[in-house]
Amino acid sequence: MKRVVIVGMGFGGLEAARALAGKGLDVLVLDRQNYHLFQPLLYQVATATLEAPSIAYPIRSIIRNWPGVRFQMTEVKGVDLDARQVITEEESIPYDYLILAVGSVTNFFGMESVKQSSYDLKRLADATALRNHILTMYERAAQEDDPEKRKALMTFVVVGGGPTGVEFSGALAELARWVLVKDYPELHNERPRIILLEAMDRILAPFSEDLQRYALHRLKKIGVEVRLNTALAGAEPDKVYLKDGTVIPAYTLFWAAGVRAHPLAEALPVPKAKAGRIPVQQDLTIAGYPEVYVIGDLAYFEQDGAPLPMLAPVAMQMGRYAGQAIVKRERGERMRPFRYSDRGTMAVIGRNAAIAEVFGRRFSGFVAWLIWLALHLAMLVGFRNRLLTLINWGYDYLLFERQIRLITRQERERQIEASLEQARSA
């Protein structure tokens, strides 16, 4: 029985494993975590809307009824393409086919000061840490007598006007406007400041101009200060430096301005494209290695003269294609070249406000918001997760309340906070 090794159980890896289940192959899934994470909703964990477990689902539970699919929790260190082996922390695992679906990591574009002083959202722990930090800033501001420092504690700078930056800014603005204002009567005279920085002359660049204008208007309406044509130069734990020389006193910096391929790609002896992604052929394999498929954010695939974006729908279609391609190859059948079918893009700005371009049609406002809700609920794995998410969304919508306002810092976070405080005092 031939073995297929899938590295990474994100959106692409999940679809690949699903397509290979019960097809007479030994499918081994490798991931450093034992759960599948729904990354598009990480910002809602960070802004106290959802509980962390509601956007994660155990991998072993997912594959329990998938014949021939096994899971191993391990850290993949590299791949020996010539020997056809995946190198993990414990052993080298041979394969007949390999699907690389390890995704992406945050790209700070070499700005080490920003990396050290900012938060990002790629892992479940990142969302919890950011939520802890936001609530801690409010707690500290409530006890601070110095008005300038209190203002800095309640200033939140978001870098990146893409969907993640826009959605996080909107959710944070609503958290402050509807919930935290009731929790902190000591701060009723202190208005939180949420600043969204975008280096381009517009936000949400993939969308049409009318939807961009709508999103910009909605953000401003709920209190987000949007600065276009504004680039970041650097940061300290209590300051943000802009390229035009402006200094913003702020203790919170959230980075949503770019991603790059997972570091695993760097170790592979193959050409690299922009952001470290691996160029793939029309069947998603690496040139010279027809048994190796690269999918999702890791893959650089041009269609109609432009590279496909690093989005979940792209990864899902690639994963499904890779799984089906392997099955057909084993049957001696030919597979058509991969082609991504763009069913639409959407982003939510806040309560009753979203934008969507689906199947060639544009929507904004309440209708787009309903489409966004329905799609994200459908994409979540597991009935329990869908139910918990729906309950939390309903509770928030009807009562203007968010229940997940818990500061649950671990010892490591306390050490980081202490070191930042020491740096500020120096």
Q: Which residues are catalytic?
A: 167
Q: Quick one: which H or E segment has residue 394?
A: helix 383-399
Widest Cα–Cα separation across the chain: 74
**Polymer length of the chain:** 426
Backbone angles phi, psi at 270, to 5 degrees: -135, 160
Given a contact cutoff of 8 angstroms between Cβ atoms, the answer to whether 288 and 271 are in contact is: no
Q: With beta carbons less than 8 A apart as the criterion, state whether 19 and 324 touch.
A: yes
With vertex at residue 368, the alpha carbon angle to CA 158 and CA 223, rounded to the nearest 5 degrees, is: 35
Decide if 281 contacts 287 (C-beta within 8 A). Answer: yes
Across 233-243, b (16+ Cβ under 10 Å) vs e yields eebbbbbbbbe
What CA–CA distances, in Å, run from 258 to 187, 237, 308?
34, 21, 15
Rounded Cα distance, 200 and 349, in Å: 19
* 184 touches 168 (CB < 8 A): no
Cβ 342 vs Cβ 361: under 8 Å: no
SS3 362: strand
